[in-house]
Structure 1
Amino acid sequence: MDYINKFTSFVREQYCSEDFIPLHEPRFRGNEKAYLLDTIDSTFVSSVGAYVDDFECKMESYTGATKAVAVVNGTAALQVALRLVGVSKGDEVITQALSFIATANAISYNNAIPVFLDVDLDTMGLSPDAVRKFLESYAELRDDGCYNKSTGNRISACVPMHTFGFPVHLDELITICNKWKIPVVEDAAESLGSYYKGRHTGTIGQAGCFSFNGNKTITCGGGGALVTNDLNLGTKAKYLTTTAKRPHPYEFFHDELGYNYRMPNLNAALACAQMEMLESFLADKRQLATEYIDFFKSIDVTFRTELNDTKANYWLMCIEMNDRQERDYFLKETNEKGIMTRPIWTLTYKLPMYQHCYRDEQVNAEFLEQRIVNIPSSVR
């Protein structure tokens, strides 16, 4: 694997640095400091402030969603979205095991049970064919929804995750789920700036959820957003995430169990400034991806690229090694040389708290877990 030294030199040239190269670090090159100081001067630094409203409007405008609700993180957005589409205690929710832990956790926070189905090799996201096979084998429609014949539990949602910003095959997946009356909630945490057949990810299912953690394409430290084209659902999301408080000038009355998931104005100020930089960030990352493609042309390693009819944001760029041994060697050598690389996540059903959950054969997920490596993807 003599290409590792070439790869190390190539990455250092891209970032013009001999220091440690992180996987994905934020860039603050716009109005971040000015907006933060403005929130401090206004004294509205907590959960009420103009920047929260502005950020929600910016998300609606950028994604094309009817309603956006800013929250503290992407996991909170997903938890609330699942509750809003009808997920309740004891239900089953179809999702993928090849994902960050937050996807399954958000299901569990609703006291529901994840069902882990395989991914497609080309998208690394939930496979419509795997979902179809599972439903044809185990599901039945009743008057009040779809049920698992073997467990008796209601199957109340399906959560595909757009892995590293690569959109899943949404048309096929939604067609299957509609047949079985299962709402689709997109885990779009990693895919701000990604499009499927001209539509922004997160806006195609019944709801979509984004993350603005420190390692995302844009960040506000923490932060997340729920988007939807269902105005009633979006209005309820705003209500639930602001402690289910009924509007009143000064009295406090809460008429159902809500969540204190409001995004603080400080974070929203940072998010607004980052949104102003988003297009330039995406352009830089797309150019970096083009240069990675050219670099890996002469190497027996596959650089992952977007599919036809999609536009990926190239949030975390990744390569596919030939086997687990090559993957482990590459990870060891690059990290020792000060170039941060990392493997894809451990499959969720291998973690102690999810080992009891149903899973199919996971042929593709196992294949990818042994081979996929993330490489430095920061805006330069």
Structure 2
Amino acid sequence: MNKKLISFVRDVYQTNDFIPLHAPTFSGNEKAYVTDAIDSTFVSSVGKYVEDFEQHIEAYTGTAKAVATVNGTAALHTAMHMAGVKPGDLVITQALTFVATCNALYHMGAHPIFVDVSKVSLGLCPVATEAYLEKNAKLNSDGVCIHKSTGQRINAVVPMHTFGHPVELDELLAVCMKWKLILVEDAAESLGSFYKGKHTGTIGDFSAISFNGNKIITTGGGGMVLCSNLEAGNHTRHVTTTAKVPHPYEFYHDEPGFNYRLPNLNAALGCAQMEVLPTFLKQKRVLAEQYKTLFSGSHFQFVVEPEYAQSNYWLNAIICPDTDSRNVLLKETNEQGVMTRPIWQLMHRLPMFKNALKGDLTVSEWIEAHLINLPSSPSMLLQ
């Protein structure tokens, strides 16, 4: 199977050169729009492309307000700040995630509680979340969720849509409502993914999208906060713009803010990428189906979208029979110039989060030991 996989990937991308996991594709108006931004001299956080890009995202996702930021971590930081996460708070999230989720919490002075993921979505499991809260939390007389053993407030739940596959949002939202918690979606990987017809990132009060160079569309570096209502969205934009109050010439800032606005140059790239997003999504679904066929009948299980969702298939993945076969496949593909990767090391194994509170992580540990990501760039050959 390993040789068959390598041959398949090289046939898809029609090259004997190194094949990355997910490379950016520029096939539209990217150069024209970036050049126009340069010619305008508005290359920083003020310029028409920033607002145009936000409007593109609003129209595509259906969110009330989108606020462009310099990167996905800044978007996460802003989203959790706007959700009311404070220093010392506890936030439920998954150990099976990219480190940015937890880095944003760390720099806020908040602390993660790691709860297990679902084999269905690879994202935060609502059953495990409810079980952890039943055992470890209580609502005080003011209706605030408190951790029984530490006395800290549990303020929010932050699921990540792993590889673009939407988590079980209705069930997680029900848990949040019962325990008076705020749902903040880490939708960094899931632009173009839909949960029961609704775009990911539009169910929680706030969410974050990433436009890093390896995402389904890119602005080079960039992110976006999705806000569930216009008032919150306008406040979010204000906070990300150093909280500067508009004035013809005076500098006055009415609250602590962030210098997180996306530069116009990056937004110009994003506007062009949004124009070809439907093509990328089509290509990636064709590739996912071909991977599914390739591994059909083998000992490797291709990871498919949950039945309730439509995934962007940002990164395709397989579940290997065991860790040994996973390691052999990783070694042989990478030696042949076909990039494959294991999933991230679980967050509680990292030194800065080793003492974090956690529940049972059996499923997360099993996925960590078995999963491999495969080359997933869009390809014109997959129209």
Give the TM-score category using the shorter length: over 0.9
| AA of the residue aligned to 1:273 | A
Q: Secondary structure at the match of 2:334?
A: helix
* Count of residue correspondences: 378
Q: How does 1:264-283 map to 2 (within 5 A)?
A: 264-283=263-282
Verify the 8 A CA contact 2:195 2:310 in the aligned structure 1.
Answer: yes
Tell me how far apart the structure 2 counterparts of residues 174 and 24 of structure 1 sit (CA, whole Å): 32
Aligned to 1:307: 306
Q: How does 1:44-55 map to 2 (within 5 A)?
A: 44-55=42-53
Q: What per-residue deviation string (whole Å, max 9, x for no partner) do you get for residues 306-363 of structure 1? A: 1112000000000000111111110000000110000000000000000010111200
Q: Which residue, 132, 151, 160 being the options, matches 1:134?
A: 132
- Report the Cα offset of residue 144 of structure 1: 5.2
- Report the Cα offset of residue 110 of structure 1: 1.3
Aligned to 1:343: 342
Q: Secondary structure at the match of 2:318?
A: strand
| AA of the residue aligned to 2:348 | Y
| AA of the residue aligned to 1:9 | S
Verify the 8 A CA contact 2:341 2:374 in the aligned structure 1.
Answer: yes
Q: How does 1:180-219 map to 2 (within 5 A)?
A: 180-219=179-218
Q: Structure 1: which 4+ aligned runs deviate by more than 2 Å?
A: none
Aligned to 1:331: 330
Aligned to 2:123: 125
Tell me how far apart the structure 1 counterparts of residues 143 and 246 of structure 2 sit (CA, whole Å): 33
* CA RMSD in angstroms, aligned pairs only: 0.7
Q: What per-residue deviation string (whole Å, max 9, x for no partner) do you get for residues 28-61 of structure 1? A: 0000000011011100000100000000000000
Q: What per-residue deviation string (whole Å, max 9, x for no partner) do you get for residues 250-292 of structure 1? A: 2110121111001000000000000001000000000011111
Tell me how far apart the structure 1 counterparts of residues 145 and 83 of structure 2 sit (CA, whole Å): 14
Tell me how far apart the structure 1 counterparts of residues 247 and 109 of structure 2 sit (CA, whole Å): 32
TM-score (norm 1): 0.98
Aligned sequence identity (%): 56
TM-score (norm 2): 0.98
| 2:152 is equivalent to residue 156 of structure 1 | no
Aligned to 2:80: 82
Verify the 8 A CA contact 2:143 2:180 in the aligned structure 1.
Answer: no
Segments of 5+ residues of structure 2 without an aligned counterpart are: none
Segments of 5+ residues of structure 1 without an aligned counterpart are: none
- Report the Cα offset of residue 298 of structure 1: 3.0
Tell me how far apart the structure 2 counterparts of residues 295 and 149 of structure 1 sit (CA, whole Å): 49
Q: How does 1:257-296 map to 2 (within 5 A)?
A: 257-296=256-295
Q: What per-residue deviation string (whole Å, max 9, x for no partner) do you get for residues 143-193 of structure 1? A: 152111111000011000000000001100100111111000000000000
Tell me how far apart the structure 1 counterparts of residues 81 and 143 of structure 2 sit (CA, whole Å): 16
Tell me how far apart the structure 2 counterparts of residues 113 and 201 of structure 1 sit (CA, whole Å): 24
Q: Secondary structure at the match of 1:370?
A: helix
Tell me how far apart the structure 2 counterparts of residues 196 and 360 of structure 1 sit (CA, whole Å): 26
| AA of the residue aligned to 2:66 | A
Aligned to 2:146: 147
Tell me how far apart the structure 1 counterparts of residues 223 and 339 of structure 2 sit (CA, whole Å): 26
Q: What per-residue deviation string (whole Å, max 9, x for no partner) do you get for residues 114-150 of structure 1? A: 0000000111100001110111111111215211111
Q: Secondary structure at the match of 2:203?
A: coil
Tell me how far apart the structure 2 counterparts of residues 33 and 232 of structure 1 sit (CA, whole Å): 35
Tell me how far apart the structure 1 counterparts of residues 56 and 107 of structure 2 sit (CA, whole Å): 29
Identify the range of structure 1 (314-323 vs 225-234) with the bigger mean alpha-carbon deviation: 225-234
| 2:63 is equivalent to residue 65 of structure 1 | yes
Tell me how far apart the structure 2 counterparts of residues 250 and 314 of structure 1 sit (CA, whole Å): 48
Aligned to 2:99: 101
Tell me how far apart the structure 2 counterparts of residues 12 and 181 of structure 1 sit (CA, whole Å): 50
